[in-house]
Amino acid sequence: MTGRPPGAPHTFATPLRAVDRVEGRAGGPGLRFSTYKTVRADDPYMAGHFPGLTLLPAVFVLEGLRQALTRLIGAGEPLDLVEVTSARWLAPMQGGDEIRLDVTATESGDGRWLVTADGVRQDGVPVVAAKVVLGGRDADPADGLAPAGGPPPVPATASGPDYAAILDRLPVRHPMLLVDRVEAFEPGTRITTVKAVSGSEPCYGSMEDGLPLSRYTYPRTLMLESFGQSSVLLWLSSGTTGGVQVAAAFRRCRFAGEVRPGAVLRHVARIDRLMSDNVFVSGETWDGDRCVMTVGALVGSSRPRARLDRTAAPTP
């Protein structure tokens, strides 16, 4: 099976065409297939992710899984992330790299698919190991997500870095910069940030006309990326990190409800543990009084830029 041609319009909101081609569809208890994606600097969102160093965001691997399985099963409505059970990022995925994911997907009988994926670069280096749950609109948790205490109060006055300071601290730029404002800030401990979802974002720019409202659901992969950027802001305030901050792992990330243009997302991130060159963060994301995402653990890793850029000349 091959994907749509690069210029074909999308039928649902997505950051980029995260799959170039899909091969294989074995029978048995589940689907077994491989996906392929070449990391390109000219893909949507990529120019703003570590400008000058083309790296595939970790969440775009998860985006590729949902796009591939949606097409393979011929779903009438696109599948989406219900849970990231675990995902580990093992090596950088740089411009020009072709990433192959070997995938097993098993239908659980409740509208959900249990998906396991192991990825390698073209040089054989493992880059990702992930277990996720994908499902349609009816596969979200029946009781939603309801952390104790409800949504965070809106402070009368925002505190923390302003937008210029956010630009100064985060190694991302438009359109990949997904933090608009810091609303509450306890350096090294806790942060509340805001991300306004606009209909003019690139994830909506290549969609066909005449699609139902459900197709404009904001990609959960971008919501997770926005939470991750908020976590980096918090980690930087601890004074314990240098180099380049990248995602190392996600655990127990759950999603519920649809977020559409006009929503104002509020991320609450807390540092649970600091280690040498690593941070463990948990938290929630709210759309008004609805909790739309909980993050059991986001593990960040700080790495020297030279370890991420294989094209750089070695230091004498």
pLDDT digits (tens, 9 = 90+) for 284-299: 999 999 999 999 999 9
User: Would residue 88 count as lying in a domain?
Assistant: yes
Question: pLDDT digits over 220-273, tens only?
Answer: 999 999 999 999 999 999 988 888 889 999 999 999 999 999 999 999 999 999
Query: What's the mean per-residue pLDDT of the chain?
Result: 91
144 located within any domain: no
Instruction: Tell me if 10 is assigned to some domain.
Output: no
- Which residues have a catalytic role annotated? 49
Helix (H) or strand (E) holding 275: strand 264-275
Domains of the chain: total: 1
In the chain, how long is the greatest CA-to-CA distance?
58
pLDDT, residue 306, reads 76
Under 8 Å CB-to-CB from 221, ≥6 apart: which residues?
15, 59, 60, 62, 63, 66, 81
Domain membership of residue 4 (yes or no) is no
In a domain, 16, yes or no: no
Q: Phi first, then psi: give them for residue 223, nearest 5 degrees.
A: -65, -40
* Percentage with pLDDT > 90 across the chain: 75
Task: For residue 178, give the nearest of 232, 121, 99 by alpha carbon.
Answer: 232
Whether 315 is in a domain gets the answer no
The yes-or-no verdict on residue 316 having pLDDT over 90 is no
Give me the domain span that covers residue 245.
21-137+154-308
Residue 87 lies in a domain: yes
Task: Flag whether 314 is in a domain.
Answer: no
User: pLDDT tens digits, residue range 201-228?
Assistant: 999 998 999 999 999 999 999 999 999 9
Query: What is the CA angle 123-2-102, rounded to 5?
Result: 40
The secondary element (H helix, E strand) that includes residue 166 is helix 163-169
We report the CATH number of the domain holding residue 120 as: 3.10.129.110
Q: How far is CA 239 from CA 242, 259, 262, in A?
A: 8, 34, 35
Residue 46 in this model has a pLDDT that exceeds 90: yes
Q: Give the angle subtended at the CA of 75 by the CAs of 12 and 141, to the nearest 5°.
A: 85
